[in-house]
Structure 1
Amino acid sequence: MRACGHDMHTASLMAAAMFLHAAKTTWKRTLVCVFQPDEETAGGAQAMVDDGLYYNQKRGIPILDVLHAQHDIALKAGAVASAKVPSSQRLTPSKSPSLAKWPYIVIASHIIVRLKTLIAKEVRPEEFAVIGCASIHGGSAPNIIPDCVDIKISIRTYRPEVHERVLTSVKRVVHVECFS
């Protein structure tokens, strides 16, 4: 769980719906609860509006008198904040990267840059060695810090002892970047 997005929103809306249903004798309106798809990119709400959710009587949803939308942000545990925002304002959740561990994509980019300088520093020109990185993959959305990143590298040398030395150096670089 990221404590953002669908996890938090679903739990919050379900709790609000249960509370309002339990107090239904104290108010006289129709309650409609809608879970927004694709909230990470703020595209889901617009897609719902474009699809006629709030204007299409064929769906059995009444014209809304009040619409409440929410998004969670990083606050001290137990704190609640609210604000009125214009409906046109786009909220872009990033789940506070500054509060997270180093995102793995940043670490991977540091590894790749360091590997590209490794040969020049540790292999004599007559020994020949090449480190290539032609594949990197991490994450599936622009605003969700991924749990892992996959880097594919190749090490090419002519001599086994050079290959072993370069491989040891690659492992050292990866270890230093990941654990420092």
Structure 2
Amino acid sequence: FFDNVEIAPENLLGGEEGQGFYQMMKQLPQERLIIGCGAVGAMEGAVARTIAYCKEREAFGGPLTQFQNTRFKLAECQTKTTVARAFLDNCMEEHLRGDLSVEKAAMAKYWLSDTQGEVLDECVQLHGGYGYMQEYAVAEMWADARVQRIYGGTNEIMKELIARAL
């Protein structure tokens, strides 16, 4: 906290004294969209790495992709990631036009970060024990994903913002 600190008028951020909180609040939809961008990027990276890993890693005389469950899990992750990208792209278009609403930005932040958690969990699982070792990128991506559901406003708060607009 800064108390009784003099600031020259030309150095005042935002140009209007006492409005910092309100100025910050106006940027929350963009911040939430940025969190969504990180979520989708992480999903795309994790899925690509996991597909490559499953094609290379052998078990019971062949690659992990010989197992139907592995292929189905990869298909689920790829589908969720593709849908997430389409939703994010739509939100980005709205943002660039100046039309992204508070509630849709909240939807993006909540749904994309929740989906990121689901996809990263599957990717870690498909890596087996290696998925939990920091030497593998997917382990670090999984650990980093958890905070996405907290900062920028928790996902529970995002649901409240969405519900208020119903």
Shorter-chain-normalised TM-score: which range?
0.3 to 0.5
Larger strand fraction of residues: 1
Q: Which protein has the bigger helix share?
A: 2
TM-score by length of 1: 0.32
Q: Which has the higher contact order (CA 8 A, sep 6+)?
A: 2
